[in-house]
With several copies, the nearest count.
Chain A
Amino acid sequence: MPLRLHSLASPARFDRFARRILPWTWVLAALLIPCGLLWGLAFSPADYQQGDTVRVMYVHVPSAWMAMACYALVALLSASFLVWKHQLAGIAALAAAPVGACFTATALVTGSLWGLPTWGTWWVWDARLTSVLVLFFLYLGYIALAGSFDDRSRGLRAASILAVVGVVNLPVIKFSVDWWNTLHQPASVLRLDGPAIHASMLWPLAITAAGFAAFFAALLVVRIRSELLAWRIEALMRRRSAGAA
């Protein structure tokens, strides 16, 4: 389906929805992130083994979660775009991907920084680390593919297919710590039998994570709007230049 101009011209329902939730998400993000980070930096206890380096956790772990959740979302949106031809879903996925890539990057960098004191090196080719790197490339591939078609809507459809197929990597990342003997920590929060870390660490972690999620939601709305504008601008320009003929 080529993207009809009018179907984009007034994604009115999205706009109404966005208008309603946007203030809330900004407020939530602005409250939760500083709160969680400060808590993590200043008021949570140092680890008896790792000392103060454990504070990296409060940025590392939420980033890592967001990196994976974001990919899951991109894949989900892409799938619904492909199946139900819901244009907005495809555009939303396109808008979300760079955010996910950024979270992946921060997870990688903070993890590396954390690795130096704990493992004695900032990079090992351990399965967890490498698979997150692969996730980063998957994001890059998705973004690059979407951008390398002359026709935006064809690029979006091709990239959506990639996003859906790329889901195979999520289990590899999630379970890499179980399948291999890795240096990396196995899951201690997101486990079937409940979290296994102390509440004094769980709280700031949960608050930062919630803050990141709120931030993501707010940013996503802005980026979707921006993306919609880009499509309209391009369509207009195309028509102008074609009309001038």
Chain B
Amino acid sequence: MTGIGALVARDLALAVRRRGEAGLTLAFFVMAAAIFPFGVGPDPLLLGSIAAGVVWVTALLASTISLDHLFRGDLEDGSLEILVLDHRPLEGVVAAKCLAHWLATGLPVVALAPLMALLLNFDMDAWWVLVLSLAIGTPALSLAGSVGASLVLGARRGGALTGLVVLPLCLPVMVFGVGAVEAALAGRPVLPHILIEAAILVAGAPLALKASAAALRIAVE
């Protein structure tokens, strides 16, 4: 397992080069946040009550946007073949990619969440729950996304197909993430939701990595 660290470091170095992705995610996030208050109107109560949902949904959609990048560059420049043939497990490569994807799409969302919450007039006592639920949930979104991205890699085309494949996989995480925030707002215990969310992440991660790796092997055939 000694090589995995090097693997992660390498993918991160590459990701840092691609700050554009983070820019796009942020832009999408900001735009979505700017658009919602319109429909709901200035009513702070109403706005606050949907804030968590809006932030979560936006995080989910933002992470889907850059999924098509995740492996396609590697496939097209031939790197994927080499990565598949690496003596270190392919799952490690996938994990590194997911981490890079999370850093570009998940982390900015987590970091921006308090600000969004403030803008959307969210009950500020519960903001840490929102941040916590996002911090646990967004890595899971990246993992689910990597499954979808790798599955459509060998297909004739991505785009809508990626979205169609990925969104159902993301649903459970989001459900419990939002659940935690809602529990906090209603004064109910938050822990059960957070624990389930964490459990999904922990149990789902190996599955997602395995599935992605298998899909990548199919893609390079």
Contacts and interface: CB of A to CB of B under 8 A. Distances in A.
Instruction: Indicate if A touches B (C-beta under 8 A).
Output: yes
Main DSSP-derived SS at the A contact region = helix
B98 interface: no
Nearest to B18: A148
Interface in B117-147: 119-120, 147
Given A149-B154, A149-B155, A137 B167 contact: yes
Nearest to B173: A168
A122 to B, nearest CB: 10
Q: Which one of B41, B44, B155 has the highest number of Cβ atoms from chain A below 10 Å of its Cβ?
A: B155
B156 A169 contact: no
A109 interface: no
B59 interface: no
A150 interface: yes
B151 A158 contact: yes
A169 to B, nearest CB: 6
A168 B167 contact: no
Contacts of A171: 172
Q: Which one of A127, A147, A165, A182 has the highest number of Cβ atoms from chain B below 10 Å of its Cβ?
A: A165
A158 B215 contact: yes
Interface residues of B, number: 41
B168 A134 contact: yes
Interface string B10-29: 00000000001000100100
Chain A: number of interface residues, binned into ranges: 35 or more
A166 B169 contact: yes
B151 A154 contact: no
A138 B156 contact: no
Contacts of A124: 42, 44
B152 A145 contact: yes
10 contacts: A125-B47, A127-B38, A130-B38, A134-B167, A137-B34, A144-B161, A158-B155, A162-B151, A162-B165, A169-B172
